[in-house]
A and B are shown apart, each in its own frame.
Chain A
Amino acid sequence: MAEEMRIVLRNYGKVDPLKIDDYIAQGGYKSLEKARSMDKKALIDEVKKSNLRGRGGAGFNCGLKWSFAAGNVSPQKYVVCNADEGEPGTYKDRLIMEGDPHTLIEGMAVCAYAIGATQGYIYLRGEYPFLVETLNIAIGQAKEKGFLQDFDLEVRSGAGAYVCGEETALIESIEGKRGEPRFKPPFPPNEGLWSKPTIVNNVETYANIPVILEKGAEWYAGIGVASYPGTKVFTLTGDVVNRTFFEVPTDTTIRDVIFTFGGGVRDGKKFKAVQIGGTSGAFIPESLLDTKVAFDDMGAIGATLGSGATFVMDETRDIVDVVTRIMKFFEHESCGKCAPCREGTARMYELMEKVNDGHGSAKDTALMNKLGNVMSYSCLCGLGQAAPAPVLTTIKHFGADYQAKMK
Chain B
Amino acid sequence: MANITIDGIKASVPDGSTILQAARSVGVAIPTLCYHPDQSIKANCRICVCEVEGNRLLQAACSQPVAEGMVIKTRSPKVLEARKTILELILANHPQDCLNCIRNGNCELQDLSMEYCIRDNPFEMKVRGFKKDFSTPSLFRDPDKCVMCRRCVEACSVIQSVHALGVENRGCHSMVVPTLGMDLIDSPCIMCGQCIHACPVGAIGEVEYIEDFLKAVADPDKIVVTQIAPAVRVAIAEEIGMQTGEMPMETFVTGLRQIGFDYVLHTNFTADLTILEEGNELLKRLGGGGKLPMFTSCSPGWVNFCETFYPDLLDNLSTCKSPQQMFGALTKTYWAEKMGVDPSKIYSVSIMPCVAKKFEAQRPEMNSSGYQDVDVVLTTREIGRLFRMSGLDFTKLPPSNFDSWMGAYTGAAVIFGASGGVMEAALRTVYEVVTGKTLEDVNFTATRGITGIKDAEVDLDGTKVKVAIANGLANARKLMDQVRAGESPYHFIEIMACPGGCIGGGGQPITKANAKRVERIEAIYVEDEGLPMRKSHENPEVKALYDEFLHEPLGHKSHELLHTHYHDKHKKYL
Contacts and interface: CB of A to CB of B under 8 A. Distances in A.
Interface string A336-358: 11111011111100100000000
Interface stretch (A25-33, A64-72, A134-142, A373-381): A373-381
Dominant SS among interface residues on chain B: loop
A350 B125 CA distance: 12
B81 A336 contact: no
B76 to A, nearest CB: 12
A385 B63 CA distance: 18
B400 to A, nearest CB: 50
B89 A340 contact: yes
Contacts, number: 94
Report the contact-size class of chain A (Cβ under 8 Å from the partner): 20 to 34
Interface residues of B, number: 35
B49 A378 contact: yes
Contacts of A377: 56-58, 78, 82
Contacts of B47: 339
Contacts of A343: 89-90, 92-93, 172
B147 interface: yes
Contacts of B41: 183
A346 B57 contact: no
B406 to A, nearest CB: 51
Contacts of B476: none
A338 B41 CA distance: 13
Interface string B471-482: 000000000000
A334 B148 CA distance: 14
A347 B89 contact: yes
A371 B170 contact: no
Contacts of A8: none
Nearest to A161: B170
Given A183-B41, A378-B49, A380-B43, A339 B86 contact: yes
A297 to B, nearest CB: 18
Interface string B133-175: 0000000000000011000000000000000000101111110
B448 interface: no
A371 B85 contact: yes
Interface in B435-491: none
B404 interface: no
Contacts of A350: 124
B45 interface: yes
A342 B172 contact: yes
A334 B82 contact: no
Nearest to A366: B122
Given A335-B170, A344-B89, A374 B82 contact: yes
B74 to A, nearest CB: 14
Given A380-B43, A385-B57, A340 B172 contact: no
Contact of B172 (A178, A346, A378): A346
B34 to A, nearest CB: 8
B53 to A, nearest CB: 14
A106 interface: no
28 contacts: A183-B43, A183-B60, A183-B63, A183-B64, A185-B64, A185-B65, A331-B171, A332-B171, A336-B172, A336-B173, A339-B44, A339-B86, A339-B89, A339-B90, A339-B147, A340-B86, A340-B89, A342-B171, A343-B90, A346-B171, A347-B89, A347-B123, A370-B81, A374-B81, A374-B82, A377-B58, A378-B82, A380-B44
Interface of B: 41, 43-47, 49, 56-58, 60, 63-65, 78, 81-82, 85-86, 89-90, 92-93, 122-124, 147-148, 167, 169-174
A-B pairs with lowest CB-CB distance, top 5: A336-B174, A343-B89, A334-B171, A346-B172, A183-B43
Interface of A: 161, 178, 183, 185, 331-340, 342-347, 350, 367, 370-371, 374, 377-380, 385
